[in-house]
Amino acid sequence: MFDFERALGLVRDQTVVCVGDLMLDDFVYGEVGRISPEAPAPVLAVAKSELVVGGAGNVARNIAALGTRCVFIGVVGDDEAGRTLAAKLRSEPLIETHLIVDPSRPTTRKVRFVSEHHSTHLLRADWELSARLDEKTEHAVLEQALAALPRADSIVLSDYAKGLLTPRLVRTLIDAANRLGKPVIVDPKGKDFSIYAGATLITPNRQELADVTRHALAGEADIEAAAAELNRSLGTQAVLVTRSEAGMSLIPAKGEPVHLAAYTVKVRDVSGAGDTVAAVLAAMLAADVGFEVAMRAANAAAAVVVGKRGTATVSAAELRARILPAASLAPEEKIIFDWAVLDERLAEWRRQALRIGFTNGCFDILHPGHIKLLTRSRAACDRLIVGLNDDASVKRLKGEGRPMQDVHARAEVLAALEAVDLVVVFAQDTPLELIRRVRPKVLLKGGDYRRDQVVGREIVERDGGEVLLIDLVPGFSTTDIVRKSRVPQTS
């Protein structure tokens, strides 16, 4: 466990170079309520759509979400999809983007039509060209990647078989990285992995491993044998096999195999889960924490993103909350760092016509006053959301030496309470932005506030909601408890 804590701190100081096939993921969400009279096909009543950076770009986004710097090199066409991707990547502060524009190639775009209520993919439409790069574009990609390598702590090659990772490009980058002593992580494609020879770690899924080695993989022993054969033929240091709901298997060239079961989670969408695995492995190996720690982190990260909708990322906070011990599974499921997950919970509660309540605070040291506030708040609604200040905002509000407990400890204590249905972490000094997102029907605060002082009052009342003030328990204050604890005791 110490290794993982240390690894999370170390990845923030690393830089990963990511090269691969970039694509635009377009998710169209709606509900199917009838069959078309023109053909036996379901009609999707579109509610909303979402454009997301996909493919190797999603690997870069996941690297950045961990707090790791990423240098991303890719190719787009001279089209609207390419311009959208460029703009989205430029908005990521930890991603340094180098996109080569090739007018002869359309930007790869995938449109997925999804039944929102059942999280079911109904249809996917693709716009793509899988031809190899022309010599000029290949040279431009190589030039950018080789220039970035000296700054890298690891390199990840994300191959979606769209033509960017040519044999010459892959061979040149792996050889250059090996000369510099940089680990190379490859998310492979195709049935001939020989072009990836010399990579540090390769991450085929179970079917890809079976196809490339021509082995039937009935169990873990078969996976070990096939992966060991791949290590020998490619000169790789390890093979990590992703096995969907069955977990992952790590087969190092030296040392014992490790098999991990997948986390038990409610799967919403598996789009991009392989990108997350590659990104976490690249960040962890950049920090030189070892294959097994990297694998355990990647396994936990995959569990987080498949619980989200669409092509998603995992933050360091979410990763820590998943892999480190929580009070129990139920409290763990209540803690939300990613507001996109909050949106899904809110949508479900609203479908059930539940009355949603909201309160917020630092909750640094939980005391009877907090308990009374939370239990009385829960009595006024069907579901209670607690907005929790992150560590930086607590420090800004309360001063040096606060918080006494970090956000993970404070969140776990709150989530363990029966009165609390969700704990949502926010980084702003006030919960105004979060209240806009939640749109609660009842906003609750302690009786030490006047109604006109309650942040978000106007929003809630404009939506037809109400503001309730809860009487405080006299004699209890976190600030007083902290002050008393720091007063030297005399005998």
Q: Taking phi first (over 0 means left), then psi (-120 to 50 degrees means alpha), and beta for anything else, what does residue 316 get?
A: alpha
Q: What is the mean pLDDT of residues 461-472?
A: 90
Q: What percent of the chain has pLDDT over 90?
A: 62
Compute the distance between CA of residue 457 and CA of residue 353 in angstroms, rounded to an integer. 22
Residue type, 156: V
Buried b (16+ CB within 10 A) or exposed e, 160-199: bebbbbbeebbeebbebbeeeebbbbbbbbeeebebbebb
**Structural tokens at position 102:** 């090739």
Distance of CA 274 to the CA centre of its chain: 12
Compute the distance between CA of residue 140 and CA of residue 489 in angstroms, rounded to an integer. 69
Q: Is the pLDDT of residue 486 over 80?
A: no
Rg (CA), the chain: 25
Q: What percent of the chain has pLDDT over 70?
A: 93
Q: Residue 22, class by beta-carbon neighbours within 10 Å (0-12 exposed, 13-18 middle, 19+ buried)? A: buried
Helices vs strands, H then E, count in the chain: 18, 19
Q: Is the pLDDT of residue 353 over 80?
A: no
Compute the distance between CA of residue 208 and CA of residue 227 in angstroms, rounded to an integer. 11
Catalytic member of 21, 275, 364, 421: 275
**Structural tokens at position 399:** 């001063």
Q: Which residue has the tokens 């050889």?
A: 175
**Structural tokens at position 139:** 């040279």
- Contact predicate 157/19, CB 8 Å: yes
284 secondary structure, DSSP code: H
Task: Name the band, by pLDDT with cuts 50, 70 and 90, for residue 483.
Answer: low
SS3 at position 428: coil
19-68 residue pLDDT tens? 999 999 998 989 888 999 998 888 999 988 889 999 999 999 999 999 99
Model pLDDT, residue 63 = 97
Select from 305, 19, 36 the least CA-distant residue to 182: 19
Q: Which residue has the tokens 């420090």?
A: 395
φ/ψ of 270, rounded to 5, equals -95, 5
- Give whole-number Cα distances, 245 to 226, 264, 280, 305, in Å: 20, 9, 18, 13
277-319 residue pLDDT tens? 999 999 999 999 999 989 989 999 999 998 888 788 998 888 8
177-188 residue pLDDT tens? 999 999 999 999
Compute the distance between CA of residue 248 and CA of residue 241 in angstroms, rounded to an integer. 6
Compute the distance between CA of residue 24 and CA of residue 37 in angstroms, rounded to an integer. 32
In whole numbers, what is the pLDDT of the chain averaged over residues? 89
Compute the distance between CA of residue 135 and CA of residue 359 in angstroms, rounded to an integer. 59
Q: Is the pLDDT of residue 328 over 50?
A: no
Compute the distance between CA of residue 98 and CA of residue 103 in angstroms, rounded to an integer. 16
Compute the distance between CA of residue 266 and CA of residue 304 in angstroms, rounded to an integer. 10
- Contact predicate 288/28, CB 8 Å: no
CATH class of 335-485: alpha beta
Buried b (16+ CB within 10 A) or exposed e, 382-407: ebbbbbbbbbebbeeebeeebbbbeb
Select from 184, 185, 227, 225 the least CA-distant residue to 205: 227
**Structural tokens at position 149:** 């390598």
Domain parsing of the chain, residue ranges: 2-324, 335-485
Full-model pTM:
0.74
Asked if 159 is an active-site residue, the reply is no
- Contact predicate 235/198, CB 8 Å: yes
**Structural tokens at position 255:** 């040392």
According to CATH, what is the number of the domain 2-324?
3.40.1190.20
Beta-bridge partner residues of 110: 25, 126
Compute the distance between CA of residue 392 and CA of residue 127 in angstroms, rounded to an integer. 44
